[in-house]
Structure 1
Amino acid sequence: MMQTKTHVLSVLFLVLALFQAAPTLADDDRIQREIEAKIAQSSELRGVNIAVRVEQRLVVLTGRVRLYEQKLVSERIAWTTPGVFEVDNELWVVPIRALTDAAIDRRIREIIKADERFTAARLSVRVSDGEVYLEGRFTEFRHPSILKRKVAEIEGVVGIKIRATFLS
């Protein structure tokens, strides 16, 4: 009898916990409104049309942006919104005046040359159809992120992959 009572209470607590943890439609609506408001307020995203969908705390961003940086900013806004569990960034980068791969490569090399943090990394650079591939040995953990943000500002960059190792 006592064992049955314990089992019933355990099941009851489990069911209550599941209902309490399950996101509600109101949570999804709040998350969506908050992300849309932050996107509308962002100076980097002015004039960009981004659709935000939220279901069970999963955020899906769709639309087109001009710069890869705008894709990163949108994703960061979504991830930093309280209650978000996952972000699926389906934004397409569609430059207005895309640079050629060679021009993107030159701009990246200028960025690297102008910053000692990056020249010390001995970076290799490859650009193919607007996708940028960087590889290097950095002295600090944050340096690849800093480089990624600078490269993301170049019109024509549609993606960035960095293979980073760190000097100990």
Structure 2
Amino acid sequence: MDDRTVRRHVTDELDFAPMIDAAQIGVAVENGVVTLTGHVRNYAEKRIAERVALRVRGVRAVVEQIGVRPPDSVRVDDEALADRCAKVLEWDVQVPERSVEIKVAKGCVTLQGCVPHYHQKAAVDKALRRLAGVTDIVNLIAVTPPVQPDAVKARILAALKRNAKDPDTIRVEVDGDVVILDGCVDVWRERDLAERAAWSAPGVRAVEDRLTLAG
């Protein structure tokens, strides 16, 4: 499909979307890559325009350069917007308490923190995108699955059995996201092996090495 046809289809699809004012959005296409320009009333419309363009056949990618210009009647200063965002997340049951840090600069909301599951990261974005005054959202929330102590211990022991000469002399305990190595080894090389095995397990934050060298 040529670029001219893709552009026409994207423009028609935007016109068909009742949630946005397509007259304020410019569309350019080059080699199947769609660039959206212009301005919309809120961040939600910006996201909708991007999704609408992506669903058109022949679109390879979308470069979104749409600005947000809230009406004067709904303009919110950064301090008030940050407070509003915090309150929305406090009431959202999908978002773990105190898991997200919010920073607002000229309506751009930057999110940092850590949650156990991706759907919780997406829930934060979804909860804030329709707030008046939001011009953009930068979601830097990390997804870190909770540590499963039994699985971490099994993985470390399996690595030791593959590489250590006498793995039974090394004891492994997992306390939350901390691995404790105890026992004795014949050579310091095996101590290094044990430490590397511990650090390679997902979710491990610290390794406490109590291993000693056999006399």
Normalising to structure 1: TM-score of the pair? 0.76
The amino acid that maps onto 2:58 is: G
The answer to whether 1:132 aligns with 2:109 is yes
Query: Aligned to 2:78, which of 101, 108, 119?
Result: 101
For structure 2, list consecutive stretches of 5 or more residues without a partner in the other structure. 146-215
Tell me what 2:205 maps to: none
Tell me what 1:147 maps to: 124
Distance (Å, rounded) in 2 between the aligned partners of 1:30 and 1:152: 31
Query: Aligned to 1:61, which of 17, 23, 36?
Result: 36
Bigger Rg, structure 1 or 2: 2
Question: CA deviation digits over 1:12-32, x for unaligned, max 9?
Answer: xxxxxxxxxxxxxx6212211
Query: Aligned to 2:3, which of 28, 41, 59?
Result: 28
The amino acid that maps onto 1:132 is: V
Tell me what 2:66 maps to: 91
The answer to whether 1:40 aligns with 2:21 is no
CA gap of 1:31–1:121, structure 2 versus 1, over 3 A, is farther
**Aligned Cα root-mean-square deviation (Å):** 1.8
Question: CA deviation digits over 1:63-120, x for unaligned, max 9?
Answer: 1111111111111112222211221111111111321111211221121111122134
Tell me what 1:14 maps to: none
Q: Is the 8 A contact 1:117 1:139 kept in 2?
A: no
The answer to whether 1:164 aligns with 2:164 is no
Would you tell me which structure has more helix in proportion to its own residues? 1
Q: Is the 8 A contact 2:89 2:127 kept in 1?
A: no
Greater relative contact order: 1 or 2 (C-alpha under 8 angstroms, separation 6 or more)?
Answer: 1
Deviation of 1:34 after TM superposition, in Å, equals 1.7
Normalising to structure 2: TM-score of the pair? 0.61
Distance (Å, rounded) in 1 between the aligned partners of 2:116 and 2:19: 29
Distance (Å, rounded) in 2 between the aligned partners of 1:140 and 1:66: 31
Identity of aligned residues (%): 24
Deviation of 1:48 after TM superposition, in Å, equals 5.1
Query: Between Structure 1 and Structure 2, how many residues are aligned?
Result: 143
Kindly report structure 1 stretches of 4+ aligned residues shifted beyond 3 Å.
none
Q: Is the 8 A contact 2:94 2:123 kept in 1?
A: no
Tell me what 2:87 maps to: 110
CA gap of 1:100–1:149, structure 2 versus 1, over 3 A, is same
Tell me what 2:158 maps to: none
Distance (Å, rounded) in 1 between the aligned partners of 2:105 and 2:89: 18
Distance (Å, rounded) in 2 between the aligned partners of 1:129 and 1:49: 21
Distance (Å, rounded) in 1 between the aligned partners of 2:75 and 2:60: 34
Q: Is the 8 A contact 1:121 1:139 kept in 2?
A: no
